[in-house]
Chain A
């Protein structure tokens, strides 16, 4: 079993829909990272979380440390949000463990 599991693997939605991507992990962590990989391959950091909730524009990330679960939400989705969204956890000891990613396609 992978230490970091993301769901769904693939998600296609219509423009304007509310999007939720989930991440569960099985190891002790010091923080969780959400990243976005563009179709061209570039990777951008979205959020770093160790507790609670963070918001940036239309993106919201939450984490529940007790349940070892995090969610990334996108409100009012837009075709430019189409990308691969990756969850990664900082395992205690400075190693970053990556989820497999969720490929999101937003149709106009």
Chain B
């Protein structure tokens, strides 16, 4: 079954404790992306990756890191989480063709609370 998986689904942590949210897709997609969703602000892009070893900042990259060492995985790293990073996070992937990506497939979301 084609899918994007994220782990963990729920996480409560404390300020400053490094954490990683994993994202994996089994569709051999080139494009992967991380978003955060906050009430009243909608979804905002954190980072995206066009292919292995190619990553770019989205609209809200501060406080986050990513890596793309393998095509299927795109982990999101919070080196020193702060309460303003409490949010719902989505990973997504898609095929790339021409000058844009095709429809995105989304993971189930990770609800992160930083106290």
Interface residues of A (CB under 8 A from B): 30-31, 33, 35, 41-45, 47-48, 50, 86, 88, 90, 92, 94-101
Cβ contact within 8 Å between A94 and B106: no
Encode contact with A along B24-60: 1 for CB under 8 Å, 0 otherwise: 0000000101010000111111001010000010110
Question: Given contacts A95-B45, A95-B58, A98-B43, is CB(A43)–CB(B90) below 8 Å?
Answer: yes
**B105: CB under 8 A from chain A?**
yes
Please name all residues of chain B whose beta carbon is closer than 8 Å to the beta carbon of A86 when the two chains form the complex: 42-43
Cβ contact within 8 Å between B102 and A48: yes
Chain B: interface size category = 20 to 34
Please name all residues of chain B whose beta carbon is closer than 8 Å to the beta carbon of A33 when the two chains form the complex: 103-104
Please name all residues of chain A whose beta carbon is closer than 8 Å to the beta carbon of B50 when the two chains form the complex: 94
**Bound form: Cα–Cα A5–B40 in Å:** 13
Please name all residues of chain A whose beta carbon is closer than 8 Å to the beta carbon of B42 when the two chains form the complex: 86, 98-101
Question: Given contacts A90-B101, A92-B99, is CB(A41)–CB(B88) below 8 Å?
Answer: yes
Interface residues of B (CB under 8 A from A): 31, 33, 35, 40-45, 48, 50, 56, 58-59, 88, 90, 92, 96, 98-106, 108-109
Tell me the minimal C-beta distance from A26 to chain B in angstroms: 15
**Bound form: Cα–Cα A47–B31 in Å:** 18
